[in-house]
């Protein structure tokens, strides 16, 4: 059976790229396109050269490949988050191989067959589908947080607002690392002259650039208890909302559980 090096390279590029994107999707990692491209090329290069290595070097590659690639494809705030990302990337890699082997055994196709590439790509699709379904299942079982109101203090004003806890709001300011709450236009427009920079928000319709503001403090009433949020920024939306004026950050759930008691 002839093996074309360009086919091997292309296959590995596709597989490494997809595994990196899956890891980013699962962990909501922060990275740029250049990091992903470099990590994909590094992973592919090592995979192509792997059959030419001696047994000792193969062991070294097996141990260090996942930590090396995961160190390249994302930015990490802590060592713990890097280690966890490495474990998830390795788990997805092994899961892909395991899925492919199950399909090969079920179909009776020999591992040296020219159909192996097709089987691996099908396995990749199944793995991506499974990850997507698990993510949707997690969202559907997220704890509900009953928010009865909030008081946002900015430049000496105490703004009593209707607030909504939204697990989909995962905005984080890349400069300070702080979570970002979103304020409706009708409330936030009078503070626009206080903004010194903006934040890019990706939506279904594309990307928008929203003014970013500092705030003194935020007190949220969750399940009858007052919860203080101390580290956050405020983005002013381009639109108004129906029934509330403030969208809270998904990370606030931990604060509310700690300070406000159990969540139903």
| Nearest in space to 229 (alpha carbons), one of 156, 178, 176 | 178
For the 147-260 domain, the top CATH level (class) is mainly beta
Q: Where are the domains of the chain?
A: 5-140, 147-260
User: Sorting pLDDT into bands at 50, 70 and 90, what band is 183?
Assistant: very high
pLDDT in tens, 85-140: 999 999 998 888 888 878 878 877 776 666 777 887 888 888 888 887 776 666 55
Rounded (10°) CA dihedral 238, 244, 245, 246: -110
Reported pTM: 0.54
Strands 246-248, 180-183: pairing kind: antiparallel
Mean pLDDT of 211-217: 92
The residues pairing with 23 across neighbouring beta strands, listed in sequence order, are none
| Nearest in space to 104 (alpha carbons), one of 115, 92, 94, 93 | 115
The distance from CA 95 to its chain's CA centroid, rounded to whole angstroms, is 20
């Amino acid at each position: 059976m002839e093996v074309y090096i360009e086919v091997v390279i292309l296959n590995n590029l596709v597989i490494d790229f997809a595994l990196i994107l899956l890891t980013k999707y699962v962990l909501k990692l922060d990275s740029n396109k250049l990091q992903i491209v470099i990590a994909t090329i590094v992973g592919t290069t090592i995979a192509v050269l792997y059959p030419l290595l001696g047994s000792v070097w193969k062991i070294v590659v097996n141990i260090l490949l996942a930590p090396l690639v995961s160190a390249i494809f994302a930015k990490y705030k802590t060592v713990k988050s890097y280690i966890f990302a490495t474990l998830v990337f390795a788990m997805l890699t092994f899961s892909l191989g395991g899925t492919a082997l199950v399909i090969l055994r079920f179909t009776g196709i020999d591992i040296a067959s020219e159909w192996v590439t097709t089987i691996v790509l099908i396995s990749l699709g199944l793995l991506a589908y499974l990850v997507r379904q698990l993510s949707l299942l997690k969202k559907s079982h997220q704890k509900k947080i009953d928010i009865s109101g909030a008081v946002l203090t900015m430049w000496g004003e105490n703004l009593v607002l209707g607030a909504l806890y939204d697990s989909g709001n995962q905005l984080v300011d890349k400069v300070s690392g702080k979570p970002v709450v979103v304020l409706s236009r009708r409330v936030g427009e009078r503070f626009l002259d206080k903004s010194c920079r903006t934040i890019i928000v990706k939506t279904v319709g594309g990307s928008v650039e929203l003014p970013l503001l500092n705030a003194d403090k935020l007190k949220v009433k969750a399940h009858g208890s007052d919860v203080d949020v101390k580290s956050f920024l405020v983005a002013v939306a381009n639109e108004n909302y129906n029934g509330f004026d403030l969208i809270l950050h998904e990370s606030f759930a931990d604060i509310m559980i700690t300070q406000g008691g159990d969540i139903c």
